[in-house]
Structure 1
Amino acid sequence: MAPAAPSGEKQGLFARIALGFTGWAEKWFPDSFIFAAVALVIVAAAAMANGAGPMAVSKQFGVGFWSIIPFTMQMAFVAITGYVVASSPPAARLIEKLAAVPTTGRGAVGFVALISILASMLNWGLSLVFGSLLVKALAGRKELRMDYRAAAAAAYLGLGATWALGLSSSAAQLHANPTSLPPALFKMVGVIPFTETIFLWQSIAMFVILLFISVAIAWASAPVGSKAVTAQDMKIDVDLKTAALPPRERPGEWLEYSPLLTVIIIALSLGWMIDEFTSKSWITAISGLNTYNLVFLMLGFVLHWRPRAFLNAVAKAVPTTTGVLIQFPIYGSITAIMVSAKGFGGLSLSDQIAHFFVAISTHDTFPVVMGLYSAILGLFIPSGGGKWLLEAPYVMQAAIELKVHLGWTVNVYNAAEALPNLINPFWMLPLLGILSLKARDIVGYTFLQLVLHMPVVLFMLWFFALTLEYRPPFFP
């Protein structure tokens, strides 16, 4: 916990509200699994109230539970590979060089925000871990007198502001890979390639604007001078030295410590990558989630060089996937119940909610209505891919009825879904663990980001939607 603020420092209104909210959330918010389980119960009850029989609902629970296992494992690997790459020795050397760039504490906070957001375009796990380690490296430069809390909040901005507009976007990856989609959802919307989601010029423009705003807010809100609370003030150890591999103790460990297998496996993967990226466009290649994960996995392998070091990094990364592994099957069941458990008039729960969205929206207002809804729901279901599986059936159905660009509908979700991450402690956990902080230490800064992001994001969702024309679903 942070020490009392230095003399003369007074918390702003937003920070006081945010600190109060986080204190309440830490006391009363249950684990995110409970939210997923409660959502399942509510959806099952709503489907039966809509006229679906109990056995029909139970059947769809079982059908849907294992329906997205490939996607579940794919998203677990996004987290694992990001951690493995960010914690490698070459990444540590890069962090050391980057930490020498800033010349002031406030500049260091803005710099962390910039690096975190740029890294989030490649991989959200990479953004969290790399940003956290950069904060620790900068905190070791005592002459900067960098506010440790503000820097930690800046390191979180990749996940809290932009990650879903990048290559590891759960929703965009899901729709670009038909084998990852639940069958009922694929029948509705078909395939939506990256060229229709994160590679739209409108999406890129939104990312650039959010990058500028986020970095500016991080810089402007960072305390300076005597008001800055450093890692040393908080008595937090920021030593980045990692334990070297212990010497091998038996002959059977030779291959674990030798780079021989690394060289052979990387050679095999390079041959595959050359074929993959020369036989199709790079956009098509990288939009395959299996391709994306394998590239990052092999990168982590070569950066750690020795199999034992690589395996140690993977072991440390696996705990970050717990929420994904246990919650995503439940979201698969929710999706199946919503789409396939038919009730009165042959309409599913998804049909009824879609009709409601159509009734309260127009083609022009739908992005704003949907954005607000997704942001609010994200406070209670902090899972980009899992929550989209819950929302997608009725949201995409409404978009088709209102003739809203389907790829932009995915991006509306992407931008809006990231907003609640700024104050929800769930995705902060890896960063907080690395930096030895509590959510209450940083949420005052991230809450300020949320307040200023919200109107800008909603405006962009509406404005850019006006520049896009509807295209019917594509089925390869």
Structure 2
Amino acid sequence: MPIALEDSRFARFALRCSHFAERWFPDSYVFAALAVVVVALAATAVGGAPMATAAAFGDGFWSLIPFTMQMAFVVIGGYVVASSPPAARLIEGLARVPGNGRSAVAWVALISMLASLLNWGLSLVFGGLLVRALARREELRMDYRAAGAAAYLGLGAVWALGLSSSAAQLQANPASLPPSILSITGVIPFTQTIFLWQSGVLLLALVVVSLAIAYATAPGAATAKDARACGVNPAFSLPKLAPRERPGEWLEYSPVLTLILVALAGAWLAREFASKPAIAAISGLNTYNFLFLMLGALLHWRPRSFLDAVARAVPTTTGVLIQFPLYGSIAAIMTTVKGGDGQTVAHHISTFFVQIASHDTYALLMGIYSAVLGFFIPSGGGKWIIEAPYVMQVANDLRYHLGWAVQIYNAAEALPNLINPFYMLPLLGVLGLKARELIGFSFVQLLVHAPLVLVLLWLLGGTLTYLAPVTP
């Protein structure tokens, strides 16, 4: 286990965690399969029928297929765009900014977190591609694993505190709110959630602390493990476009079809952005993926070049395609299998926390609850629909600020992402790494983030007064 004295104490600790994770942390598929076993046993323990558990496993297996395909296209679209000459030049320009390996890791962390405030999918793809570009600068002696973990900080630290927050977006749009939530919370505008000054303080604290940890835990030149040492060739495989051999291939080598498709896409996008706020439009994964694919087609110019880029990208989506269905099963078992008292595992967990909560402890207990449940049911905010009715009812009963209750959910939901490979899979596809190679570094972030987030949620929540529901 090579650890140099020139590395900081934090870097030496991170390397020990990394070596432990690489040795003992299972493949992300095994991790997901074990989680299925754990929640199945929990459902049985509360009195759920074995056949009901099996039924939920099968029924839930395909429940995330639309989201699975969306995440696969996040990877494909990112690869297609990045493998085009114009985008490659932009990424290369950004990759020339850092002057050494440690600052390169911090630079990736900053770009990832800023991008995630606009769109978490963008942070995954762009951060991963930036890491690959930096890895091509051999003089940096950058640790490829640490940089990969830094690229994941957008999802593991701040994404839900920005415009990517599905919970905040949902609460601000009455037309999207289910009646079961609207009757309890009313409409909560952004000014009472992500635009609170308390949210700004929390966001700034997380960005600064995350950057400091990323820099401090990055191994020095002597111990840095570069991309090739990780078995990854950081260069994009961009073979020269083969010449046209037969008349029937003319359209494959002509930009005519590309230009027609892009024109149609441009008209649709113009309508989308004209009918809703720009951030709301781009935050939808379908719109985001559509934009990236059409942009990739335009940048590649010829259909043949575009199709070759897609073919190179597809193998990197393997983990997403085979593992996300297991997470769908986990969510189904936890939320649909009823025990002897007619309640689900998710309900038992939530009831435990809400029964012991008071106005003073609400932030701490709800933060812990959201983080624990988020570990088994990773969500880009979708599980807010499940949790909001009882979580927000408790906030009302305790006369707690409803907007800050949303932010408690947002900040705490990101914590388990740091060690849960669910959202890491598209990034791993871009980087060509396994989850175990990033977990050691992101675990150090979690050790600091967890107490910091919980304490700040508690302290900042104390500066707010009750926000009564406002219905449209």
| TM-score normalised to structure 1 length | 0.77
Kindly indicate whether the alpha-carbon contact (under 8 Å) linking 1:350 and 1:394 is maintained by their aligned counterparts in 2. Answer: no
Query: Residue in 1 aligned with 2:123?
Result: 127
Query: Residue in 2 aligned with 1:358?
Result: 354
Larger mean CA deviation between 92-101 and 256-265 belongs to: 256-265
Instruction: Provide the rounded CA distance (Å) in 2 between the counterparts of 1:265 and 1:177.
Output: 32
Partner SS state of residue 414, structure 1? helix
Query: Residue in 1 aligned with 2:321?
Result: 322
The gaps in structure 1 that reach 5 residues or longer are none
How does 1:34-433 map onto structure 2 within 5 Å?
A: 34-36=34-36, 38-39=38-39, 42-43=42-43, 46=46, 48=48, 81-82=77-78, 84-169=80-165, 171-172=167-168, 197-231=193-227, 236-283=232-279, 285-286=281-282, 290-314=286-310, 316=313, 318-319=317-318, 321-322=320-321, 326-327=325-326, 329-330=328-329, 333-334=332-333, 337=336, 353-384=349-380, 391=387, 394-433=390-429
Give per-residue Cα distances to partners, 1:162-221, cap 9 Å, x unaligned. 233344445556667889888977887677666665455544443333222212222222
The amino acid across from 1:445 in the alignment is F
Instruction: Provide the rounded CA distance (Å) in 1 between the counterparts of 2:57 and 2:187.
Output: 25
Give per-residue Cα distances to partners, 1:287-321, cap 9 Å, x unaligned. 55554554444444434444444445555255354
Kindly indicate whether the alpha-carbon contact (under 8 Å) linking 2:43 and 2:333 is maintained by their aligned counterparts in 1. Answer: yes
Q: Is 2:461 aligned against 1:465?
A: yes
Partner SS state of residue 103, structure 1? coil
The gaps in structure 2 that reach 5 residues or longer are none
Query: Residue in 2 aligned with 1:16?
Result: 16
Change (3 A) 1:206 1:359: same
Change (3 A) 1:250 1:382: farther
Kindly indicate whether the alpha-carbon contact (under 8 Å) linking 1:71 and 1:180 is maintained by their aligned counterparts in 2. Answer: no
Change (3 A) 1:63 1:234: closer
Structure 1 residue 110, shift from structure 2 partner: 1.7
RMSD: 4.5
Instruction: Provide the rounded CA distance (Å) in 2 between the counterparts of 1:246 and 1:179.
Output: 51
Change (3 A) 1:45 1:453: closer
Change (3 A) 1:337 1:235: closer
Instruction: Provide the rounded CA distance (Å) in 1 between the counterparts of 2:457 and 2:277.
Output: 28
Query: Residue in 1 aligned with 2:32?
Result: 32
Structure 1 residue 416, shift from structure 2 partner: 2.0
Partner SS state of residue 223, structure 1? coil
Kindly indicate whether the alpha-carbon contact (under 8 Å) linking 1:334 and 1:390 is maintained by their aligned counterparts in 2. Answer: no
The amino acid across from 1:375 in the alignment is A
Instruction: Provide the rounded CA distance (Å) in 2 between the counterparts of 1:61 and 1:438.
Output: 26
Partner SS state of residue 469, structure 2? coil
Instruction: Provide the rounded CA distance (Å) in 1 between the counterparts of 2:173 and 2:322.
Output: 22
Change (3 A) 1:444 1:64: closer
Instruction: Provide the rounded CA distance (Å) in 1 between the counterparts of 2:449 and 2:365.
Output: 16
Change (3 A) 1:214 1:291: same
The amino acid across from 2:413 in the alignment is E
Kindly indicate whether the alpha-carbon contact (under 8 Å) linking 1:87 and 1:130 is maintained by their aligned counterparts in 2. Answer: no
The amino acid across from 2:35 in the alignment is F
Structure 1 residue 360, shift from structure 2 partner: 1.0
Instruction: Provide the rounded CA distance (Å) in 1 between the counterparts of 2:193 and 2:115.
Output: 19
Structure 1 residue 456, shift from structure 2 partner: 1.9
Kindly indicate whether the alpha-carbon contact (under 8 Å) linking 1:379 and 1:420 is maintained by their aligned counterparts in 2. Answer: yes
Give per-residue Cα distances to partners, 1:48-75, cap 9 Å, x unaligned. 59xxx988x9999999888877666656
Change (3 A) 1:84 1:32: farther
The amino acid across from 1:453 in the alignment is H
Kindly indicate whether the alpha-carbon contact (under 8 Å) linking 1:150 and 1:445 is maintained by their aligned counterparts in 2. Answer: yes
Instruction: Provide the rounded CA distance (Å) in 2 between the counterparts of 1:285 and 1:163.
Output: 17
Kindly indicate whether the alpha-carbon contact (under 8 Å) linking 1:32 and 1:380 is maintained by their aligned counterparts in 2. Answer: no
How does 1:430-445 map onto structure 2 within 5 Å?
A: 430-445=426-441
